[in-house]
Every structure is written in structure tokens, then in C-alpha cells.
Structure 1
Amino acid sequence: MSEGERKLMDDRGQYLQAVTEGRDVQDADWTQCRILLTTERVALVADEKRVIPLSEIDNVGGRYDVNQNAAGVASYVTLHIGDDVVLLRAPEQDAFETDLYRAFLDNTIVYVKHPAVKGGVVQGAEWQRAKIKLTDEAVKLAVEDGQYVTIGRDDIGDVETDDRTVDGTERRVFEVEHTDSEDRSVETHLTGEGQQITILEAIFEEGVERNRANLDLSPTEQQIVMALHSGVSPFDVPEFVDEDVEDIEEIFDRLIELDVIETIRERTEVEITSRGRQVASEEMGSQ
């Protein structure tokens, strides 16, 4: 390894060459290999050794089900390298993907506006530079004004994107909704350059997917989630939706099981979760 290069992961795994020189490989299959990941490259060691410098990877993430061999696998990471596409899977897939994202992001500089929105109110925050670090649990930002911002990867309620001029350059900006250390709903806006944008998009899409509320909620359940999201006290919900207290208790139980709300102190003292915020956002978007 070169000076300063660090090994992040070394384990058995598999790769599938989905595209070669711009053409789908229809008969592609998984090949057993050793995967060596460093801060500068990915090496795939099988009968032959292939080394992929991180600087040559154009895009990461998203499925590329070139055939049934790829489609039949629940989880893999996709690398777009010029006109080639390679799929990778490892025994500890989540940990491998985090290590891969870390290789691109850790200790690099991004631009951050925090809090851009707090409690639904736009703040006067300015864009600042921040050093980024990724863990299994969170995206951590050390901002130049001394703030330390943590975005839990299981606490991302919604992400929107916009193109804006930041530091004199047109950039893609991620507007990330999450909670702060005091459990208040806030938005942190982030942007970067090149590969940073690609990796941040993969991380945030994964976070939203973790909390995406693909739930079959009844109209009353949806109304309750909207009420809680709007600040209605859990104790006022029965009157708000015109339902008996006992019926609301049963609905609270179901929403707790679905991780849409969570208990605070008493059985009926609840607050909206990131998944619940996603339900509310989707409901408001459909109205």
C-alpha cells in the first residue's frame, strides 16, 4: 500500500460483472473472491486480481439487476466505473457498505447549513465548511463555528434535493430532516463535490428507506398520525378524531408496534417518530 493508505476491510465476498464496455453481460454470475478495501482502492482477488482506484468510481449505490442472478440477491452494492458496472456483496453487507462510504467521505470537507429549519421555521443559518465522519449509526459533522451535528442514519425522516449556488458554484443540495439532541425536528442542508454527492445520496436514500412507511394505515390511523405531527396532545386525540378512548388506545398500540409512534412516559404519552414523520409528509404531499 502507498504511504498514508489504510486498510478498511479484508474479507471473502463475491462480485458480478454486470456491464463491460457499456454492454450488459446477460449471462453474468457471481464469482467468489477476496475483497480488500483501503482508503484508496478496492481490490478483487480471484483467479486474477482486479484493482479499482476509488478515484475511478463514478457512482455508487442503486440496484442493477442485469439478470436473475443479480435480481435474486437481496443486497449488494453497485460500482459504476466508466463504461463498466460491478456488483459486490460481502458476508457483513451493511458494514462493508459503511466502510466503502467511509473510504470516500471520512475527514473530507463538505458544506453545511445547520439548522436550516427548526420546528418548521426557516432559520438564518449560513453555509459553513464542515469535516464529515461516517459511523454505522450516524453522519457526524464538525462545523467550522464549533457545532457538532449528528444525523442518525435511523432518524432520517425525509430528504429533498435542490440545486443552489454555494461558495460560488452550482451544487446539488440535500435537505435532510431529522431530530436534534433535544428531539426537535430540524433540517440540515448539506452539499459537496463530485463523489461526495454520490455517496451522500446513497447514504440518505438508505436512511429514508429504513424509515419509509410502506404501511397500510386506515383513514383514522392516518388522521391520528397527522394530528400528532401537528402538535396535538395524545390525550386530546380521542376528541380530535371523534373516537372512543379505548379505540384510540388500540390504535396507539398498533402504531407503536409499527414504530410510527413511541411511548414517552405513560402508555398513551407518545410522540411522532422519523417513520411517523415520513407518513405525515407523504400524506400531506398527497393532499
Structure 2
Amino acid sequence: MSERVIADFVGEFFLTDMDRDDPVSGRIVMSPKRLVLVSDDRKVTIPTDAMFDIAVGHVPPEMRAFFSDSVTIAYRDGNQRRMAVIEGDSDTVDKFATVLFKAQLNGQEATVQHPARRGGRVVDSPVTKARLAVDTGTLSFSGPDTEFTIELATVTDFEKESRTLAGETRPALSVSHVPEMTTLVSVVALPSERVMNLLGRYFRLEYSDIVEGLEDISLSDDEVQVLVAIYSAGEGVDPLDVVSADASQTTMVLNGLREKDLIADSDVGTVLTPKGRVVVNSRLEEVNA
């Protein structure tokens, strides 16, 4: 492959049109334009723009006996829909999934409205064009008339919906996030249904890593007060300086929040973890609703 290689590793793969029931060992090589799967007796090339779905960790039922840490790619081969399941060690699969999504999404021209709502109120922001850049935990948009970043740790909700943007009704992603103390809703539309679906997949994958297990977290009023105080005063402050409560009681609350992985101690002081930011942002969303 003479193109720039962005992934190259040895693993196992299975293709739906293989004349066998078990995966084969081989080399997985990817450039921004194509994915190449090579075994001893087979070479398959999948163009990047033929991929219409990417699932991480989901394995078709008939292949669950063979795969654990995997990426499943659905793609079109002429008029046929096919599927490739690729397995490697856990770290490799995570990195490969990120590479796949970046190859699909980076540089896409997006139609955006930012913000479409501010604190629950509709905002008459212009609809503009911007280039999308994907990085770990962030979506950044840059264009002649707008520039903003959505940190996934500040997101409280997102949904796919039909929106009329620049006089055209199209599928879009509506993202509620709290970059500071006010809830914003940003609307993002990409040029095709295919890449919109992949953006939704990426969003769910990254966001699920943060919110996993949040449903089981219960918080007392004191814990919510401390979390919001840390958030409002700025991470790195001493919570005992900003919480108007008995120091010994606050210390007990802080210890409980550490055990729930909502705050952590860093070189600059006490900070919210990504999970803690999501919890606080959800509480602010409830207040602003």
C-alpha cells in the first residue's frame, strides 16, 4: 500500500462471503482511503466510503464463539451488503476503532447551528459551514464564520432528528452540552446519511464510556452541593474553601465522592472526573429545563 498507513496490525478476521465458518489470522492494514485484510490465501479491500456502519464490541450471534474484543464493519460491495469482523487485543481494538471513525469523520464539511438554544431559549444563531475534526473526547468545528468544540464530558443528551437548515430538511444531531454554567444545544448535519450514522455511532461509543454505570449512582443533597461547588469555583480549588458547611462533614462527603469516582486528586487539587462532570451537567440541565 503506497498510501499513508494509519493502522497496521496482526489479528483475526471473518468476512460474510468466506467459504468457512471460523475466522482466519492475517494482517489488517488501513489508509485514509481503504482497509485491506490479508491472509495466506485471501486479500480483501474495503474502500472507506463503502463502510456504512461500525460497531465496537458487538459480534454477530453466529461468531460469538470466536470473537471477544472486536470491531464489526458493515460495507457495500456493489449491490451487496457485507460484513467484516476484526479481532485483536483490547488496546489494539480500541485504537483501531478510533482510527476507523477518524478516517470517516475528520475533514467532513458540516452544516452547524451553534448554539440553537441557550439555557432553554431558542437562539437565532446563523446556520454556517465548518470542517469537523474528531479527537479523543472532543468534536471540533472550524469555519469562516464559526469555531467551537464540544467536549463529550460536558454533554447531557443527544439525539438524531430532522432539522431544516439553510432551507433544506436533513438528518442532524442535536447535542445538549454545558461547557460552562449554561446549557447549550448545538445542531450538526453532515453531507450524507452514511456519515451521519457513523457520527452517531462514534458519539454513542465515546459517550457510553463516560456514562457507564451512572444509572446506579445515587447522590445526597450534600454530595450534589459539593460537586456543583467544585464545578462553579473551577477545578483545582480546595473544596473546603468553597463549601459553606462543617469541614469534617465536607471531608466525609468528599471521601464518598472519591469512592464513586466522581472526583479525584490531582497536582493542582481536587478535580471532577469525566463521570463527575456528566453528573453535574445533568443536574444543571434539570435546573435549566
Match of 1:107 in 2: 107
Indicate how the Cα distance of structure 1 residues 187 and 94 shifts in structure 2: closer, same or farther if over 3 A, else same. Answer: farther
Indicate how the Cα distance of structure 1 residues 279 and 156 shifts in structure 2: closer, same or farther if over 3 A, else same. Answer: closer
SS in 2 for 1:225: helix
- Identify the range of structure 1 (127-136 vs 225-234) with the bigger mean alpha-carbon deviation: 225-234
CA displacement, residues 119-158 of structure 1 (integer Å, 9 cap, x when unaligned): 454432222111112223422211330x332223444443
If the length of structure 2 is used for normalisation, what is the TM-score?
0.73
Match of 1:65 in 2: 59
Match of 2:29 in 1: 36
Instruction: State whether residues 11 and 34 of structure 1, in contact with CA within 8 Å, keep that contact through their aligned partners in structure 2.
Output: yes
Match of 2:98 in 1: 98
Letter in 1 for 2:84: V
2:38 alignment partner, one of 34, 45, 51: 45
Which consecutive residues of structure 1, in runs of 5 or more, have no partner in the other structure?
239-243
SS in 1 for 2:6: strand
Q: Structure 1 residue 41: deviation in Å? A: 1.1
Which consecutive residues of structure 2, in runs of 5 or more, have no partner in the other structure?
234-241
Match of 1:149 in 2: 148
Percent identity of the aligned residues?
A: 22
Q: Structure 1 residue 203: deviation in Å? A: 1.5
SS in 2 for 1:88: strand
For the residues of structure 2 that align with 1:54 and 1:271, how far apart are their CA atoms?
A: 31
Letter in 1 for 2:213: N
For the residues of structure 2 that align with 1:260 and 1:173, how far apart are their CA atoms?
A: 31
Q: Structure 1 residue 46: deviation in Å? A: 0.6
1:235 aligns with 2:243: yes
Instruction: State whether residues 178 and 274 of structure 1, in contact with CA within 8 Å, keep that contact through their aligned partners in structure 2.
Output: no
For the residues of structure 1 that align with 2:205 and 2:275, how far apart are their CA atoms?
A: 20
Letter in 2 for 1:188: S
Letter in 2 for 1:50: V
List aligned pairs for 1:103-182, cutoff 5 A: 103-145=103-145, 147-180=146-179
Count of residues paired in the alignment: 267
Indicate how the Cα distance of structure 1 residues 128 and 268 shifts in structure 2: closer, same or farther if over 3 A, else same. Answer: closer
SS in 1 for 2:164: strand
For the residues of structure 2 that align with 1:269 and 1:32, how far apart are their CA atoms?
A: 43
Match of 1:274 in 2: 277
For the residues of structure 2 that align with 1:8 and 1:211, how far apart are their CA atoms?
A: 26
Q: CA RMSD in A?
A: 3.9
Indicate how the Cα distance of structure 1 residues 63 and 232 shifts in structure 2: closer, same or farther if over 3 A, else same. Answer: closer
For the residues of structure 1 that align with 2:158 and 2:274, how far apart are their CA atoms?
A: 21
Instruction: State whether residues 154 and 281 of structure 2, in contact with CA within 8 Å, keep that contact through their aligned partners in structure 1.
Output: no
If the length of structure 1 is used for normalisation, what is the TM-score?
0.74
Q: Structure 1 residue 187: deviation in Å? A: 3.0
Match of 2:198 in 1: 199
Q: Structure 1 residue 166: deviation in Å? A: 2.2
SS in 1 for 2:64: helix
1:252 alignment partner, one of 251, 254, 257: 254
SS in 1 for 2:162: strand
For the residues of structure 1 that align with 2:118 and 2:271, how far apart are their CA atoms?
A: 26
Instruction: State whether residues 8 and 39 of structure 1, in contact with CA within 8 Å, keep that contact through their aligned partners in structure 2.
Output: yes
